[in-house]
Amino acid sequence: MAIFAVDAGGTRIKLGLVQGGEVLARTSIDARSDEGLAPALPRIAAALQGLTDRPVEGVGLAFPSLVDGDRIVGDVGKYRDAPGIDLVAWARDEFRAPFAVDNDARLATVGEWRYGAAQGASDVVMVTLGTGIGTGVVSGGRVLRGRQGAAGILGGHMTAHVEGRPCPCGNLGCWETEASTAALPVVGEGFRDYAAVFAAARAGDAKAVRVRDRSLAVWGALAVSLVHAYDPEILVFGGGVMASGEAVLAPIRDHVRRHAWTPGGAPRVVASERGDDAALVACEWLLKRDR
């Protein structure tokens, strides 16, 4: 039997009917994340019900915040009402199905580990480069979670610059404030998205080349820090920025090869295989794990 999967992004909410590690049907809706999660729940339910008229085995949610058990905790400036919502009751009332939730970057990592680029590996780090910078870690064949659900997912919120800009997370100088789509209005010299940056850089635009090269240096340094922290055998990059493919990945791979202290050999640095589906297919794993 299939499950419903929800990946609640800041701009779009992706929804899928998932079975056996595959998305059988999919749709998406506007997030309107500044309005909160509660107003979105009726729209989410209607969109999911449009994917199938058959019963499902469960409802899984990939969510951009800290998660402790089946509760969303913390405030990242979007869906700010989420910690006060009983989502277990919502899934029971709407679908007569069990519910499970976890951080979206962690679930994207699981999706690649179980069904994508990192299949068969025991030690995996994933980085999602998009509006923000998310990370997830599998160490020794176990998904890192930590005492309150924060382990492994805050790689983008480690300090890159001790005198850097304030981050919405409360820290100063996070990697996310140095090179993410959200940071481009400040650091992008007029650019608002990385597709435009890489396209203009290919055309020889000097400002775009500066923004591109600085961003690549930030992402390469972040990759080295994650390699030193978690000692993975494979480092997976995903997220919207990876639409530029090897133009992003090759310089990061080279930076890791040159700068990571890995006497046994550098980890493989690869692109996500499951893309936007990674967190959706991982919701199936999450529901089965939580039973």
Question: How does pLDDT run across 43-74, given as a tens digit for each residue?
Answer: 999 999 999 999 999 999 999 999 988 889 98
What is the residue whose two structure tokens read 């058990």? 69
Summarised one tens digit per residue, pLDDT across range 120-166 is: 999 999 999 998 999 999 999 999 999 989 999 999 999 999 999 99
Cross-strand partners of 124:
138, 234
Give me the domains of the chain, ranges plus CATH numbers.
Answer: 3-106+277-289 (3.30.420.40), 119-272 (3.30.420.40)
Judge contact between 99 and 88, C-beta under 8 A: yes
Q: Report the alpha-carbon angle 274-62-217, nearest 5.
A: 60
CA 30 from centroid of its chain's CA atoms: 18
- pLDDT for res 69: 87
Tell me the C-alpha distance between 21 and 277, whole Å: 10
- Tens digit of each residue's pLDDT (9 = 90 or more) over 192-226: 999 999 999 999 999 999 999 999 999 999 999 99
What gap in Å lies between CA 77 and CA 81, rounded to an integer?
A: 10
At 171, is the pLDDT very low, low, confident or very high (cuts 50, 70, 90)? very high
- 110-122 per-position pLDDT tens digit: 999 999 999 999 9
